[in-house]
A and B are shown apart, each in its own frame.
Chain A
Amino acid sequence: MTNRRAQSLWFWLFAGPAVAGFAAFSLWPMLESLWLSFCQYEVVTPPRFIGVQNYAYLFAHDASFWPSVKVTLVFTVIQLPLAIGAALALALLLNQPVRGRGFWRAVYFLPSILPQAVFAVVFGYIFQADGGLLNRLLALGGLHGAAWTTSPTWALPVLIGISLWGFGYPMVIFLGGLQNVPRELYEAAHIDGAGAWARFRHVTLPLISPVIFFNVVMGVIGALKVFDLAYAFSVAQAQPAPGGPARATLFYGLNLYQQAFGYFHMGLASAMAWLLFACILLITAVNFRVGRRWVHYGD
């Protein structure tokens, strides 16, 4: 079709709904929530402009803001390397000529597509201090298990452990990346006398670095929006308020939900939403800047 006008007409006919959806469900809410973040808005009364007070309160006084930032950071810093490491290791294993590769891949991938709520509930049951499977097994060995789910020391590590079951996504992405590495490069390296480690270090790693980079970015963003897992975990533990014990599992996303829909501090929660958004922008920008330095794109 050469007619530009006809093209433009069809384009808007076809893409119009999606663009309208983008405007209505992403762009406009972003702008409105920026406005709300400078307001006191408790739903009962219309929003009232209060300047930067919400932000000031978050930074200086709010008892749950910094703990939730800390929980999210700790989760990211510990969970992400473990998840990416495990995913890469398994992808490397499965990239070998193993028999039944499809089966293994299926087994390792399956848990990551199941509902997070189910995982939180099933693991919550297994980790229960009093009567859970783990502590009963430990008791068989004469060990006294901890209060995994009800102690602030252990609750977050347990959640990190649970979330590791979902490393299937990065694993499959790694597998895709590994399969794009040309076999001849390995052959050449092998002929040059490179050992397994040297081949990994000098052939595999540079070539899959864009994939690692992609997984890191997605992992960080994923950590910033943890909700289902933490919320369901709280409910399964019958915690009176989500994010317990003692804010140990109060993820940023959960805290935001709680402020907005538990207590209706919509203005304050909007400020949290914008900080989250700024954070994501920043991380993405930094990642790309850093990524440019160490990521090896093929061409």
Chain B
Amino acid sequence: MHRRTSAATVCLYAALALGTLVMLVPLAWMLLTSLKTYPEILRNPPDWLPAAPQWQNYRTVWEGFAYYRYFLNSLFVAVMVIAGTVLTCCPAAYAFAYYEVRHKELIFGALLCTLMLPAQVTVIPLFKAFSALHWVNTYLPLIVPAWLGGNVFGIFLLRQFFRTIPPSFIEAARLDGASEWTILWRLVVPMSLPAVLTVVIFTFLWSWNDLFNPLVYLQSEELCTLPVGLLYFIARAEQLTGGSLGQTPWHLVMTLATIMVLPVVGLFAVFQRYFVEGVAASGVKG
């Protein structure tokens, strides 16, 4: 490697640090605001730090306004979606990786095309069908597609990974008399845990962050997931606080936003490698 001048190095790190500041200021402001009192958020010019961190804001939002319920709803949907994704994407990826069937590539290509399809394109007929089934205002429209291989990206990613497993492993297992089902769950999936984990993480992200589908399919407040709950919170904040505050209680809104963000940040902190690998893998073969 060539030695770079120290000036260039300083510039590089300065640029990176400045960029970091820009990236993190909104999140920092969110966190700081969530720890302030109502009079503090109105102060002009603004105080950066709260005089004393108001941790009870979190209790107010969580218990007082029963947002633990929305949290649990979000969690329930995410868990069901992840379970469905793993249970249907793994076999599908295995099938596309190891079996030779006529038109297999064509079918796979068709599946991949749906990655390009925005939800808005299919939502109207789906809404019509789910209404006819009386599934509107239940979680089924959010969950059932995942149980039918709805996560095509997952199938794609797993198939790529499965293909790196030497076929001799699988043939050996077959000779031992293991069934295909056993080979899939006892051999292939355990060998592909990083890929499975990546799929789980991304499925969680999509489910946790999704605003569009819950907005369309869930009507009553008790069913809502967090992103919808956040918007409802803003819309009815005046009422929640008994109308005693003149402005939107942004400190509480930011508290809720922080609660929503925390699981994602936590997962990211632990599994950063899988996040990055998942994204990079999606770019490998456009």
A21 engages B279 (CB within 8 Å): no
CA distance in complex: A211, B12 (Å): 24
Inter-chain CA distance A81–B92, complex, in Å, is: 37
Min CB–CB distance A50 → chain B (angstroms):
16
Residue in contact with B286 in the complex, picked from A30, A165, A217, CB distance below 8 Å: A217
Asked if A33 is at the interface of the complex by the 8 Å CB criterion, the answer is: yes
- From A21, A90, A225, give the contact of B148 (CB < 8 A): A21
Q: Give the distance to chain B from A20, nearest Cβ to Cβ, in Å.
A: 6
List chain A residues, Cβ under 8 A from B23.
Answer: 107-108, 110-111, 165
Q: Which of A4, A18, A108, A236 has most chain B Cβ within 10 Å?
A: A18
B284 at the A interface (CB under 8 A): yes
Judge whether B125 and A36 touch: CB under 8 Å: yes
Q: Does A59 contact B (CB under 8 A)?
A: no
Contact across chains for A177 and B125 when beta carbons are under 8 A apart: no
Across the two chains, which residue of chain A brings its CB closest to B94?
A14
By size class, the interface of chain B is 35 or more
A173 x B282 contact (CB < 8 A): yes
B20 pairs with A7, CB closer than 8 A: no
Q: Which residues of B contact A18 (CB under 8 A)?
A: 88-89, 92, 111, 148-149, 152, 155
Asked if A165 and B26 sit within 8 Å, CB to CB, the answer is yes
Q: In the assembly, what is the distance between CA of A90 and CA of B279, in Å?
A: 16
Which A residues are CB-close (under 8 A) to B286? Answer: 210, 213-214, 217-218
Of B63-71, B192-200, B256-264, the one contacting chain A is B256-264
**Could you count the A-B residue pairs with CB atoms below 8 Å apart for me: how many are there?**
276
Give the distance in Å from the alpha carbon of A210 to the alpha carbon of B215 in the complex: 36
A176–B283 CA distance with the chains assembled, in angstroms: 8
Indicate whether B169 reaches chain A with its CB closer than 8 angstroms.
no
- The answer to whether A108 and B253 touch across the interface, beta carbons within 8 angstroms, is no
Question: In the docked arrangement, what's the CA distance between A216 and B53, Å?
Answer: 44
Which of B12, B104, B284 has a CB less than 8 Å from the CB of A96?
A: B12
Residue A248 is within 8 A (CB to CB) of chain B in the complex: no
Selected from B92, B119, B209, B226, the residue in CB contact (under 8 A) with A116 is B209
Question: In the complex the two chains form, what is the Cα distance from A33 to B117 in whole Å?
Answer: 13
**What residues of chain B have their CB less than 8 Å away from a CB belonging to chain A?**
1-2, 12-13, 15-16, 19-20, 23-24, 26-27, 29-30, 33, 42, 44-46, 88-89, 91-92, 94-96, 99-101, 104, 107, 110-111, 114, 116-129, 145, 147-150, 152, 155, 174, 180, 184, 205, 208-212, 215-216, 226-227, 230-231, 234-235, 247-248, 250, 253-254, 257, 260-261, 264-265, 268, 272, 275-276, 279-284, 286
